[in-house]
Amino acid sequence: MTTTTPGKTGTATTTGGVEVRHLAVNGCFEFTPPVFRDERGLFVSPLQQQAFTEVLGHPFPIAQTNHSRSARGVMRGVHFPATPPGQAKYVHCSRGRGLDVVVDIRLGSPTFGAWDTVEMDTETFRAVYIPDGVGHAFLALEDDTVMTYLVSTPYRADLEREIDPLDPELGLPWPKDMRFIFSQRDTGSLSLAEAKARGILPRYEDCLAAAEAHR
């Protein structure tokens, strides 16, 4: 049974006990699973294939799991894969607290340029599904924040691309009272305009084809 309630950006639905919200970026979803707590601790399933399949029409294809641990202020992104082959992600916070951001950089997408945010922690265990070609960024809001990524294709460093998360054209809503920490890779990232001029932004139709190939 599916019930519908208003969401922050889109419509939130409850499917098999999992609350699902369609984000402002076409094809991106937030999943909030039920958390079972008692005097021993808690139990939670951040990815539930039945709920995912009901919303997306197919199960999430897991090729690899990744974990990152970050100090407060560490910003990762905006990252995206070369498409093809592309890569879809399902991300949740396993420890700490962070701000997760999705950005539509797919040329030809009906929501090109749109972004949305999800605050992640170990109270709600919200997770985000990020389809092929969508830009992804993350900011750790606490020390020792651990993010868990389920991905649809194996990691290949030579296929990874990045855009400056502070690019004014993107206008992402980062906190203004925090000192950000970047990797050397992200420090030298391109602006959205530069990435477009160099022809490295993914095309929406290629992203849809990549998604079909991974299922």
Residues catalogued as catalytic: 79, 149
Cα of first residue to Cα of last residue in the chain, in angstroms, is 25
Burial label for 86, CB within 10 Å (0-12, 13-18, 19+), is: buried
Distance CA 128, CA 133 (A): 14
Beta strand 89-95 with 145-151: parallel, antiparallel or unpaired? antiparallel
Residue 75 pairs with which residues in a beta bridge?
139
Phi, psi of 55 (to 5 degrees): -85, -45
- CA–CA–CA angle 189, 28, 78 (5° rounding): 10
Give the separation between CA 156 and CA 20, rounded to whole angstroms. Answer: 30
Q: How far is CA 103 from CA 8, 97, 111, 141, in A?
A: 17, 20, 9, 19
DSSP 90-144: EEEEEESEEEEEEE---BT-TTTT-EEEEEEETTT--EEEE-TT-EEEEEESSTT
